[in-house]
Structure 1
Amino acid sequence: MDYSIPANMEEMLALKNSAVNEEVIATAIAGVVQMARQQGQSIEQLTESILQDDRVLDPERRKWLSQMIIQAWNILPLPKNDSA
């Protein structure tokens, strides 16, 4: 099944209704990257927030996730500017 990249938090939360698989995880990561860009965040700010200690992921998994976020940031095209 093809998933479109979530453009907002509502679309991101809708992914919770999907069975977890590699495609859903990749789609969620792409959505996080696109939303961070739309909010003017840098890759450094985004990875810093991912690496912050939390009770969901252990440090090793947070590190892995931050690496996936960096890869997605470098691969995904920049969003089109609607005002152009």
Structure 2
Amino acid sequence: MDYPIPASTEEILALRNNSVNEEVIATAIAGVVNIARQQGQSLEDLTRGVLQDDCLLDLDRRKWLSELVAQAWVMLPSLKD
């Protein structure tokens, strides 16, 4: 990837300044997974948050996104502080 994995919410939000593409989305997901781990969240906690009802994504898209997050959780090595 050409983008470093974000280490903070601010770095994830800064990705909005880039054109949306698969690499930016993957970088954002990796950042969310790492931040959740740093905060002591479990995969279940993170998935529950993704699946919460919101006005941006319908249920099918939230389920799809939660599956991507779960895959990223498994694939990404756990970063030690």
Amino acid at match of 1:68: L
* TM-score, scaled to structure 1: 0.93
CA distance in 2, matches of 1:37, 1:5: 13
- The aligned residue for residue 25 of structure 2 is 25
Superposition map of 1:4-83 within 5 A: 4-81=4-81
CA distance in 2, matches of 1:28, 1:56: 17
Cα deviations by residue, 1:10-47 (Å, 9 ceiling, x for unpaired): 11111000000000000000000000000000000000
Extract unaligned runs of 5+ from structure 2. none
* TM-score, scaled to structure 2: 0.96
| Structure possessing the higher radius of gyration over alpha carbons | 1
Extract unaligned runs of 5+ from structure 1. none
| Post-superposition offset of 1:9 | 1.1
Alignment root-mean-square deviation, CA? 1.0
Percent identity (aligned): 67
